[in-house]
Chain A
Amino acid sequence: MALADIQTMPDASDLADASVAPSPPQPVMPMPTGPPADVVPPGPSIELPPRPVLKLPTLARSGAAGPPSGETAADATLDPIAAAAAAAASSSNPHAMAAAAHFASMRQAATMPSVKPMRGKKKRRSRRPMVVKVLVLGLLGGAGYLGRDTAFATRLKGDGYDSSILPMIVYERPNPGTVDGTLILDGVWSQDGVAATDELFVDFINNPTTGDEQREFRQTRRSIEDGETIDPPMDATSWESISLEESTYREPHTEGGAWQQSPRNRDAWVSKLSNIWMYQDVIDHSLRRVTPVSVTDETIGGVEVTTYLWSIPIGEYRTSAPFVAARLPLPELETSDSLVTLTISVDSAGLVRVLEVALELDAVIGYANEQTDSIHFYRLRFELDSIDDATPTITAPTNTEPAPTDGAGG
């Protein structure tokens, strides 16, 4: 039954004087209007003695107490329905009794939904909802515990986020026709207890697609005294080389001589380093965790770059910068407190314009004095001067002869 229907039910006041002022409720049977004429003979009204109250359902409505069982008729008159029932019972009118019973049942039905708990009284509830809540909370807690290490959970927890860390960006790799750059390789070698530096400049122009490359070498050797290089240099030479698909040609030692041709070694150092390097080629997950000593915005060769500078103990070089270290290995100095200076300059397109790793010269000199079998690099620098869509014109020299032993070194 709807609330509106309940509200349209006959009110107690309507039934207060049912025998005098009938107000027939709808749509039930007509209100009793007193006994029919054929049942009750006309005559002066007589006062009937009190009779036992008709026991009808007396479910109390809020604020209107029905006559409890055993109450007197006088008490029952407080309730119009009870009064009507009492009147009907006293009149012995079956219609009135039926109507009174009907209204009593109607009131019971009407009051059922609107029964409200008494203020201050606790409603007795089933325990089932509480069990369900506990189960739901337990399931949620268990799922949260099991998923605490999932990607989503770690994101919410904020594990590993640092706004100052180098961003994890993959720049698009360009496909230029020409790459123009410089390699600088500084090493130390020792012979008979005498150490010297070997400085090699390589200016290169290459075609990244074909691998054709033209290089100019300048090699300078200087002796070392008291940990410092001495000028003038002991030796300074320069030469040019051209590398095409299968061969490398080295400039003749004498003017007018033939270029020396040798098979090209594409796995040579210089070939590996004379490529385009992108931000993501040198900045790896490990290096991102190392805080740079400085971050500088500057202009190099007319190009605006951001230069990152790290200072890393040599013992941590490989684990701190594995991508750079894999390409530019440095001597494993036993003095692990020696510092590697790593410099990376990146332009707005993600191109690495400068990449340099350097060790302190003193530390490498001592190492070279113990290892006299080879040169030990202490500074490796790559500079990208420019890239261009146009392809360079690199052709083989005309006057060539097979190299006697080694070529131009790749």
Chain B
Amino acid sequence: MEQKTKKRIRRTASLLVVAGLGAGGWVAYGSEPGQRAVGRREYFRAHPVVEAPDLASATISTRFEAIRSAETSTERYDIVATIDAANQRARVDTTSVPTDLTATGQSVPASATGVSTPSPAMSTEVITIDATYEPGATDADPWTRASRAPDTWGTWIDPHVIPTYDELVGFELESMHSWDPLIGGGGPLDLASQTAEIDGMIEANGATTTAAQEAPERTPTDVPAEVVRLMRWSTDMASLRHLSPLTMSMLGLIAPDDAPVVFTLGFDSAGLARYIDASISLSDAMVGLDTESMVFQWIEWRVLGVSDDPVTIDLPVNVVDAPVT
């Protein structure tokens, strides 16, 4: 056989192989596994179910900064709830620190001068399935017991007090740009809205003034070590109500619809929420704030610990029933 003929045969064979590979690739691309591999079947894909574990106890912290325009002040709350899940009891320790906004400029209302007059108030509450207990003014005074409807919804003894990824993140929020603010290491989050200033007309105590006010600096906290997936979005309050309605209902975040908000969620390896944060700049939070209302500048929710070991929360013995209103 001549060399030319052999070369021609080889060339034809090579072309056939290439064509065959191309055709095979095209068929594979159009096949179901191929379409799945390139991500064109994600519309019809369900997340694996994340089962909320049956925990015996948990400790959850909630901190938030509430702004009350009536006093031109903020009030910082630090709440730690110890939950006895087995007996549906919780002890809630609350520390609140009122702080004045730092004001500069002219015609500053008297109540807005000076920096921070901390007078922390501490309170404790015990919650059961059908009652709440509050201590008296002194240790010698009896606790007050108030009955309530046996709902756990939205309370610390809610079996779903630690939500899952699927309960917080819908596929619209999932499709939005997010980023991990802690890539490269853990530690406190550097939130842009820790300190903010507001310039312009501020109404307080019946006086109108032009001033710059600064919220007291937020003490950063560490993201729980169990967080393996940290996601942050930048959106606005009105959108956040649509994007993560459970976050809004469980945190009770109050802020103007137009306020830009930095929203952060952290999940552990099982898909359970360990960290939630929503932060708004002071100036945006105070837009439209009237003398009667209150808004939040930021709110932070953290799971400090969960355990299979039960925790004992004793009910007070010296108790009187609250008067029925």
Contact = CB atoms under 8 A, between A and B. Distances in A.
Interface stretch (B117-125, B223-231, B241-249): B241-249
B166 A161 contact: no
Interface stretch (A55-63, A249-257, A322-330): A322-330
Contact of B46 (A165, A169, A211, A281): A165
Query: Taking chain A's interface residues, is the majority helix, strand, or loop, or is none over half, making it mixed?
Result: loop
Given A161-B44, A167-B43, A318-B160, A289 B167 contact: no
Contacts of B45: 160-162, 165, 168
A373 B148 CA distance: 9
Nearest to A288: B46
The size bracket of the interface on B is 35 or more
B58 to A, nearest CB: 18
Contacts of A289: 46-47, 49
Nearest to A153: B37
Interface string A149-188: 0001001101111110101111001000000000000000
A13 B160 CA distance: 97
A167 B166 CA distance: 15
B153 A263 contact: no
Contact of B33 (A156, A318, A319): A156
The size bracket of the interface on A is 35 or more
Contacts of A298: none
B192 to A, nearest CB: 26
Of A162, A277, A318, chain B has the most CB atoms within 10 Å of the CB of A318
Interface string B23-38: 0000000001100110
B236 to A, nearest CB: 13
Nearest to B166: A285
Contacts of A155: 36-37, 39, 41
A332 interface: yes
A207 to B, nearest CB: 13
Contacts of A272: 241
B290 A167 contact: no
B170 A280 contact: yes
A160 to B, nearest CB: 5
A319 B46 contact: no
Interface in A344-368: none
B44 A373 contact: no
A266 B290 CA distance: 12
Given A170-B171, A322-B167, A326-B245, A285 B47 contact: yes
B170 A156 contact: no
A162 B44 contact: yes
Interface in B146-160: 149-154, 160
B4 to A, nearest CB: 13
Contacts of A147: none
A322 B166 contact: yes
B245 A159 contact: no
Contacts of A280: 170-172
Contacts of A337: none
Given A280-B171, A289-B46, A327 B245 contact: yes
B288 to A, nearest CB: 8
A284 interface: yes
A373 B149 contact: yes
A126 B144 CA distance: 89
8 contacts: A155-B37, A246-B290, A280-B170, A280-B171, A280-B172, A285-B171, A318-B160, A327-B245
A267 interface: yes
A399 interface: no
Given A152-B37, A160-B46, A285-B165, 6 more contacts: A161-B45, A163-B44, A165-B44, A167-B44, A211-B257, A285-B47
A286 interface: yes
Nearest to A332: B151
A189 to B, nearest CB: 12
Contact of A160 (B39, B48, B171, B175): B48
B314 interface: no
Contacts of B49: 289
Contacts of A156: 33, 36-37
A371 interface: yes
A246 B37 CA distance: 53
Contacts of A161: 36, 41, 44-45
A331 interface: yes
Contacts of B41: 155, 161
Top 9 A-B pairs, shortest CB-CB distance: A285-B166, A326-B245, A322-B167, A326-B246, A167-B43, A280-B172, A155-B36, A326-B249, A371-B149
A278 interface: yes
Contacts of A165: 44-46
Nearest to B52: A319
Contacts of B250: 326
A165 B171 CA distance: 14
Nearest to A171: B172
Nearest to A208: B238
Contacts of A374: 149
A169 B150 CA distance: 38
Contacts of B248: 326
A162 B45 CA distance: 6
Contacts of B245: 281, 322-323, 326-327
B36 A158 contact: yes
Contacts of B160: 318-319
A168 B151 contact: no
Interface string A123-157: 00000000000000000000000000000100110
Interface in B45-68: 45-49, 52
Interface in A299-353: 318-319, 322-323, 326-327, 329, 331-332, 334
